[in-house]
């Protein structure tokens, strides 16, 4: 669960970057 939580944060950051780049 700890790894999953950290992964979620990393994915969220990556997703946010992609969204900003796409925009």
Residue 19 has pLDDT above 70, yes or no: yes
Average pLDDT value over all residues in the chain: 81
Beta carbons within 10 angstroms of residue 19's beta carbon: 9
Q: Which two tokens mark 8?
A: 């979620």
Q: Tokens 């790894």 appear where?
A: 3
Query: What is the pTM for the complete model shown?
Result: 0.41
Distance CA 4, CA 12 (A): 12
CA distances from 13 to 5, 23 (A): 13, 15
Residue 23 has pLDDT above 70, yes or no: no
What is the pLDDT at residue 7? 86
């Amino acid at each position: 669960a700890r790894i999953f939580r950290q992964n979620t944060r990393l994915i969220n950051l990556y997703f946010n970057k992609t969204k900003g780049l796409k925009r």
